[in-house]
């Protein structure tokens, strides 16, 4: 039985009849329409579609970076509608980690400082506890010996590993990965995917990808396809 179908893996994301419109000049663009989607804790899921299909918009809504024009989104049982920006920021910080295709590392900070950065807002963590997490997650991604290196001293794959460590350091329940292999060569991209799959299996952290990369689609346990702002197909692929 696939692990996401059992009762031991509760729902972590629920999206109900979500629409998203953007205003461009004098016209409105319908980015998402009638989106209904449930994601269970521990899934390794890919949202796939061509450029402009709405997959990144959907990822931003799940990540509470943006809000729907209508409909409901529940993250870890919490209704995000009507939440203040500060409340959404707290939910993001405590529940969601982000991995981007451009890595989004601070160029003036070392690898360990980049990983520690999001932990600075957790006032309950002492400097020693922050250090413990930094060491642990740099070790998990295989970069402990590169802790003092700045991003310009690291390869693309190493920078993405730092980004993964940073995303994991806050102990999120959900990792959102927006085209995480887009700027990596084929072999490095596969290595990064294998690393994320291993983390998913070891920790049951939910991974949600936005992608048009065939490698990501092939590795996903569940594939959700989106076209022109609407979900068109779902497959269990592993």
Mean pLDDT of 178-206: 92
- The whole-model pTM stands at 0.90
CB 177 within 8 A of CB 148: no
pLDDT of 26 = 86
| pLDDT value for 8 | 52
pLDDT of 4 reads 43
The pLDDT mean for the chain works out to 91
Tens of pLDDT, residue by residue over 79-93, are 998 889 999 999 999
Architecture of domain 42-67+84-236: 3-Layer(aba) Sandwich (3.40)
- The pLDDT-based confidence of 35 (bands split at 50, 70, 90) is very high
The mean pLDDT of 126-144, rounded to a whole number, is 96
Nearest Cα to 209, choosing from 77, 55, 64, 92?
55
Rounded to whole angstroms, the Cα distance separating 68 from 33 reads 10
Q: 86-115: per-residue pLDDT in tens?
A: 999 999 999 999 998 889 999 999 999 999
For residue range 200-214, what is the model confidence (pLDDT) as tens digits? 999 999 999 999 889
Confidence at residue 101, expressed as pLDDT on a 0 to 100 scale: 86
With 80 as the cut, is the pLDDT of residue 142 above it? Answer: yes
Strands laid side by side in the 230-236 sheet: 96-100, 174-178, 206-211, 44-48, 222-227, 230-236
Q: How far does Cα 211 stand from its chain's mean position?
A: 11
> Would the pLDDT of 1 be above 80?
no
What band does 187 get if pLDDT is binned at 50, 70 and 90?
A: very high
- Please tell me the distance from the alpha carbon of residue 65 to that of residue 28, in angstroms, as a whole number: 20
pLDDT of 59-73, one tens digit each?
A: 999 999 999 999 999
């Amino acid at each position: 039985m696939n692990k996401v179908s059992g009762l031991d893996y509760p729902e972590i994301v629920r999206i109900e009849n979500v629409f998203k419109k953007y205003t461009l000049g004098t016209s409105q663009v319908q980015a998402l329409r009638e989106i209904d989607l449930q994601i269970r804790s521990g899934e390794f899921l890919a949202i796939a579609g061509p450029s402009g299909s709405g997959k990144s918009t959907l990822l931003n809504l799940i990540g509470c970076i943006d809000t729907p024009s209508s409909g409901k989104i529940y993250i870890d049982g919490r209704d995000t509608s009507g939440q203040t920006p500060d409340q959404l920021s707290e939910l993001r910080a405590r529940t969601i980690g982000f991995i981007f295709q451009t890595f989004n590392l601070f160029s003036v900070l070392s690898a360990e400082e980049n990983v520690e950065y999001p932990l600075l807002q957790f006032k309950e963590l002492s400097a020693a506890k922050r250090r413990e997490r930094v060491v642990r997650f740099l070790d998990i991604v295989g970069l402990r010996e590169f802790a003092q290196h700045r991003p310009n001293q690291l390869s693309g794959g190493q920078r993405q590993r730092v980004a993964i460590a940073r995303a994991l350091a806050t102990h999120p329940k959900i990792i959102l990965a927006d085209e995480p292999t887009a700027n990596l060569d084929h072999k490095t991209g596969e290595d990064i995917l294998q690393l994320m799959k291993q983390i998913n299996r070891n920790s049951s952290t939910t991974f949600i990808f936005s992608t048009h990369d065939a490698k990501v689609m092939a590795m996903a346990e569940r594939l959700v396809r989106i076209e022109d702002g609407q979900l068109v197909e779902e497959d269990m692929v592993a």
